[in-house]
Amino acid sequence: MRGFVTNKEAMLHDEVAALKPKVIDRFSRWAVEGAQCALADSENPLRLNFFSTAMRILFEHIMDALSPEDQVVAAPWFKPDRSNGKPTRWQRTIFAVQGGLSETFVRDELKVDLPPLRQRLLESVDELSKHVHGRQHTIIQDRGEQDAVVRRTVAAMSAFLDTLHECREAVLTPIAEALDDAAIDALLGETLQEVDELASHYSLDDIDVERVAVHKIGFDTITYRVTGSVEVTLQWGSNSDVRRGDGAELGQSFPFWCEFELPLEDLWDLGLADPTYGVDTSEWVDAMKPDEDDERL
């Protein structure tokens, strides 16, 4: 059982926890939680090694999600630095941040500069690898030394994630308001198939846009994603049926998403996009299913 938590331990826990809002998905948050659990086990002589394993899993997951090797080598700026033609860890890090966007565009137009990240991040990942593949002579047992490695690792990871989000925010700013309007226009102009299947008729009452984001930057395209909710009235029966009391109406809210894919050379020209969208009615459909006990009656 752990004893009293010192102020230093609490601060270190908070520094690691601060990564959670910055990471890219649920699995990433699990990795951060795993790192926190490893640090909390103060009596474990391999505390740093288990922390390093969790953080290495986090880094590799982000690389796999945001910079697959086949995408990196297809980027216009890619030049092989290895004899086998595979991208280096730094090239994959660059792609995770900016995709196929050129360094000049990212630096001059978006005002995002990657080189300051390079030494801190790559040294940190190399240090993680050393502790992941720990040997008797590489195990660090001194708590102060362990905590110093943890802080360097967390600082480097935090700076990387900050730069990743900074680049996406800079890309998004000129087009965010237009994306909001374009998503609403797309939903208003089409039949919401998932909703249409729920009742005889439906009417779209309101569209609430909650988030506009850069969903993905590939080697030659960028995908923007708009999410929010739609307010609808579901109607069973005709209007006259409803007036006579033989039909029914029900107001409901459902989450929606809408995506716009554009070429990187025209990443702010929404006129080139053919939006795709969807409405998630699964929770309502599941709630309407009869219970298994009812089906057996």
34-91 pLDDT, tens digit per residue, is: 999 999 988 899 999 999 999 999 999 999 999 999 999 999 999 998 888 899 999 9
For residues 122-132, average pLDDT: 89
- Angle in degrees, 0-180, between the axes of helices 47-66 and 115-132, rounded to the nearest 10: 130
Residue 297 confidence (pLDDT) above 70: no
185 and 82 co-located in one domain:
no
Averaged confidence pLDDT in the chain: 90
Q: Is 102 exposed, middle or buried (0-12, 13-18, 19+ CB in 10 A)?
A: middle
Task: Judge whether 223 lies within some domain.
Answer: yes
Q: Which residue has the higher pLDDT, 19 or 284?
A: 19
Q: Which range is least confidently modeled, 22-26, 127-131, 209-213, 288-292?
A: 288-292
For 240, the token pair is 């006259």
Q: How much is the average pLDDT of 173-184?
A: 95
In-domain check, residue 1: no
Range of the domain at 212: 176-296
* pLDDT at site 1: 41
In this predicted structure, what is the pLDDT of residue 291? Answer: 62
Q: Are 42 and 54 in contact (CB under 8 A)?
A: no
26 in a structural domain: yes
Q: Are residues 130 and 207 in the same domain?
A: no
Say yes or no: 150 and 246 in one domain.
no
Q: Is pLDDT at 106 greater than 60 in this prediction?
A: yes
Choosing from 124, 141, 172, the residue where a domain stops is 172
Say if residue 149 is in the same domain as residue 181: no
The strand order across the sheet containing 248-263 reads 201-217, 221-236, 248-263, 276-279
pLDDT of residue 5: 57
Q: Is the dihedral of CA 197, 203, 209, 213 positive or negative?
A: positive
Same domain, 89 and 227: no
The pair of structure tokens assigned to 160 is 């990387």
Where among 119, 146, 172 does a domain terminate? Answer: 172
- Does residue 2 fall inside a structural domain? no
pLDDT of residue 292: 57
Residues 201, 136: one domain? no
Q: Which residue has the tokens 């053919």?
A: 274
Q: Is 117 domain-assigned? A: yes
User: Do 218 and 290 fall within a single domain?
Assistant: yes
Residues 209 and 251 in one domain: yes
Q: Are residues 206 and 261 in the same domain?
A: yes
Alpha-carbon torsion, ordered 151, 152, 153, 156, to 10 deg: 120
Query: Which of 56-65, 85-94, 134-143, 213-222 is predicted with the least confidence, judged by mean pLDDT?
Result: 134-143
Q: Is residue 213 domain-resident?
A: yes
- Same-domain status, 48 and 127: yes
Give this prediction's pTM: 0.86
Q: Is residue 207 situated within a structural domain?
A: yes
Lowest-pLDDT range, 83-92, 132-141, 230-239?
Answer: 132-141
Between 135 and 230, where is the model more confident? 230
Angle at CA 64, nearest 5°, toward 62 and 68?
130
pLDDT at position 296 is 53
| 135 plus 195 within the same structural domain | no
Burial 24-34 (b: 16+ CB within 10 A, else e): beeebbbbbeb
Domain final residue, candidates 172, 191, 222: 172
Q: Look at residue 166 and tell me whether its pLDDT is greater than 90.
A: yes
Residues 187 and 156 in one domain: no
Domain count, the chain: 2
